[in-house]
Amino acid sequence: MQYNHKEIEARWQKYWADNGTFKAENNSDKPKYYVLDMFPYPSGAGLHVGHPLGYIASDIYARYKRHKGFNVLHPQGYDSFGLPAEQYAIQTGQHPAITTETNIKTYRGQLDKIGFSFDWSREVRTSNPEYYKWTQWIFIQLFNSWYNKDTDKAADISTLVAMFEKEGNAKVNAVSEEDIKSFSAEEWNSFSETEQQAILLQYRLTYLSDTEVNWCPALGTVLANDEIVNGVSERGGHPVVRKKMTQWSMRITAYAQRLLDGLNKIDWPQPLKDSQTNWIGRSQGAMVSFKVDSYDANIDVFTTRPDTIFGVSFMTLAPEHELVAKITTDAQREAVETYVEATAKRSERDRLADVKTISGVFTGGYALHPFTGKQVPIWIGDYVLASYGTGAVMAVPCGDQRDYDFAKHFGLDIPNIFEDVDISEQAFADKGKTVLANSDFLNGLNYKKGMKTVIYEMEQRGFGFGKINYRLRDAVFSRQRYWGEPFPVYYKDGMPQMIDKKYLPIVLPEVEKYLPTEDGKPPLGNAEVWAWNSVENKVVSNELIDNETVFPLELNTMPGWAGSSWYFNRYMDARNDGAFVSKEAVEYWKDVDLYIGGSEHATGHLLYARFWQKFLFDRGFLPVDEFAKKLINQGMILGTSAIVYRVSGTDTYVSAGLKDQYETEALRVDVKLINSSDELNIEKLKNWQPQFANADFKLEDGKYLVGREVEKMSKRWFNVVNPDDICEEFGADSLRLFEMFLGPLEQFKPWKTSGISGVYSFLKKLWKLFHNNDNFEVTEGEASKESLKTLHKTIKKVEEDIENFSFNTSVSTFMIAVNELSAQKCRNKEILKQLLVLISPYAPHIAEELWSKLGYQESIAFANFPIFEEKYLVESEKEYPVSFNGKMRFKLNLPLDMGKADIEKTVMAHEKTQQQLAGREPKKVIIVPGKIINIVG
């Protein structure tokens, strides 16, 4: 019987689906293990061979843990809200739900073909109302919460209201807006409902505010910083401008320190931890207030070097700073407005990254130095961001290189406040060697003493105080688009109100157009009818009617990261309609034991998910405050592009080996047109695209050979390899083994289809171990020492590799084992069945097939993992090379514990020794036990 991968793989994929083989139980006597993949966004392109890399690794580990006796949860779902489906809807009129459903069917078919052990009974889709009902519910909890600095955790907003009613807000220690006015209990109780709601909005963990955002006119929505690349939208490459809009925001800054501290207790890659640490950006310094000359206004500045305050020679505001328009003089107004308009077209990332360009404009206004009272000119510059700190810096050019370059460029003063330091060429920023000069009461002090002294003086004089600051900004949570979670929000007297939980989910309504309305409202403004589980209220044309009172609804939708910030908890109890996860389920599973996904999500999804987890923990909904114990970032499988070379200005293409003889330009062509020897199929190329139909091809040795270049796998480069094609030709088990064999999981590695044939040959060789002349044949009885040794060294190595996630070396180990067992002509059932269990996580289909042929009824998925026994690797014999006058003539196996006298006696009696000596007496017999035997004649 030949190895037929198509038949075998189809049979076992159906068996797993029909029998719910990988369905996890929420109550089990077994220990739990939760393996999670970052769930995919179902794009129309489907999967290419690079996408399953992490899934295969997680699947191997999940299967391994089942073999080890664990109750394994290995779920999968879809992050199914997103801009691409909406953009397609705008272009074609097709509802995003239809596009998404079509794409999901494609993904599901591809995933099933690769043989993943997913528990599909727990599938989630973020765009399903049954799921986003609970995203809306979590939003309501955030709205109804505040952050208590005294307890360092979130609490119900009712506890804050109780404090206001009893003693006002003077003693409240909360994360909140910074400009909240103090009020007494009597004043609070006298405020109208609208006034009270406006105050509470300054404390809530999700709130409305006028925020500088990245607005993309072409997409009609706000984008997060990580959705912008080189000043344009990552999706579509559209221009992005900075714009002030009223937006929902999440007060993630309340958790800044806890997000930093939590990194110490999770096993995540250090580079990823460093990314989050830098993104959060903790710094210690002081807040200083500079009065604006001739205006009733102050400029507040956070500085990490308040000790250098006497070196301030100018101030720089972000172009978006609210004071810019107020303090700009008439003489400078045109220049300032032009600069502000230009800056609005640049993203924050571009402005931060552009360290070479020096630009700015003088406002004409001045601030007063808080210690000396001297005038300090106020400039604007795009290197200062309104969203970071206070949007203003006190420029100390002698101690900061960017300030130094700015001052040099515009001819501003650079006073030197450092003792015995030359600043004629560059700024001086060495804290350790700082000795202050020209700094009044700070003269002669070093950095540490200067910091303490100046902060004390600021606090005494009332214009500054010590502070810990974070680069992390509150997260904008609104999107002006259709395909997202509706907010459970209506407005009463301009204040947001939460729709009652009993009416959830607020279902995304149907619209005729997916673009903003004619009067500029988001696409949901086009909805004529909204629907939810309501008998008391009715909704008509974006307005909630309750007891004949009309209330407008929120027309923005939630961002893509809303649904992905808690999905891992939903998998624990995916069909629960009464809670986002039951207490029983979450107490059993608690958290993710192993999470595999891309490092590109470090400061997006992974940071937001940690924030939501800590919040839900604070409110008592979850038992742990970190959602994933261990995280592995898989690398990327790169494409190997195929390149043809066109002679410039002609329609002639030259083979790769001839290109240096001509002036050529490189064009990428579909890798499907190339064989394993890099030879181009010219006829297929001519039919592929019209531009090649009449082309002339110069060959070498009768062939056209393409050039090759390793780069990201992309439709744009025609180097995408479809896993369906690989599964069809070589099988899913070959694909799984080959992707692991390419190299360490975390590394980037190039794909080359020709290499998979070696893995396919290995599987056929494994198949032959169980067959004799195409007949299935295994034997009972005792295994040979050689086979036991091969088996147990394989057990040892494979277990070590899996535990260390070194899957590539396991594949090599399997190949060695099969070669050795084949050479030993091993057909022993005890050896082969254990080998199958070892291989099963990697190549589950062939393992299941051969397992069933061995007579087992239950899936191999639940077979115990073989136990390594050291005794089978302990050598009892030594193969000695027997030499005559230094030349090895034959080998002899002798017991390792045999002494020199017995070795000599045995060797001398051997017939091959007698043949070599031919009756002569040896002059000497040299024996080193365990190493050599040399007979000198």
Q: Tens of pLDDT along 334-368? A: 999 999 998 888 877 778 778 788 999 999 999 99
Given a cut of 80, whether residue 540 has pLDDT beyond it is no
Given a cut of 90, whether residue 774 has pLDDT beyond it is no
In 3D space, the residue among 389, 252, 243, 403 whose CA is nearest the CA of residue 316 turns out to be: 403
Given a cut of 80, whether residue 62 has pLDDT beyond it is yes
Q: Give the Å distances, CA to CA, from 95 to 496, 530, 871.
A: 29, 16, 65
Given a cut of 60, whether residue 195 has pLDDT beyond it is yes
The pLDDT, as a whole number, for residue 749 is 93
pLDDT band at 621 (very low <50, low <70, confident <90, very high): very high
Instruction: Give CB contacts under 8 A, 24+ apart, made by 418-426.
Output: 419/444, 423/398, 426/401
Tens of pLDDT along 544-592? 767 667 788 999 999 999 999 999 999 999 999 999 999 999 999 999 9
Tens of pLDDT along 641-661? 999 999 999 999 999 999 999
pTM of the model: 0.88
pLDDT band at 217 (very low <50, low <70, confident <90, very high): confident
Question: What percent helix, strand, coil does the chain show, rounded to 5?
Answer: 40, 20, 40
Given a cut of 90, whether residue 874 has pLDDT beyond it is no
Under a CB-based contact definition with an 8 Å cutoff, are residues 147 and 205 in contact? Answer: yes
Looking at the DSSP bridge assignments, the partners of residue 376 are: 367
Under a CB-based contact definition with an 8 Å cutoff, are residues 271 and 372 in contact? Answer: no
The pLDDT, as a whole number, for residue 220 is 73
The pLDDT, as a whole number, for residue 768 is 96
Q: Say how far apart CA 466 and CA 452 lie, in whole Å.
A: 9
pLDDT band at 453 (very low <50, low <70, confident <90, very high): very high
Within 13 A of 743's CA, how many CA atoms are on the CB side?
A: 12
Tens of pLDDT along 820-853? 999 999 999 999 999 999 999 999 999 999 999 9
| 42-46, 131-135, 518-522, 539-543: range with lowest mean pLDDT | 539-543
Instruction: Give CB contacts under 8 A, 24+ apart, made by 803-806.
Output: 805/57, 805/61, 805/632, 805/745, 806/744, 806/745
**b/e burial code for range 433-463 (CB count within 10 A of at least 16 → b):** ebebbebeebeebebeebbebbbebbeeeeb
Under a CB-based contact definition with an 8 Å cutoff, are residues 653 and 717 in contact? Answer: no
Read off the tokens for 691.
């531009």
Higher pLDDT, 536 or 743: 743
pLDDT band at 919 (very low <50, low <70, confident <90, very high): confident
In 3D space, the residue among 722, 703, 705 whose CA is nearest the CA of residue 713 turns out to be: 722
Tens of pLDDT along 671-715? 999 998 899 999 999 999 999 999 999 999 999 999 999 999 998
Look-up of token digits 């000198």? 936
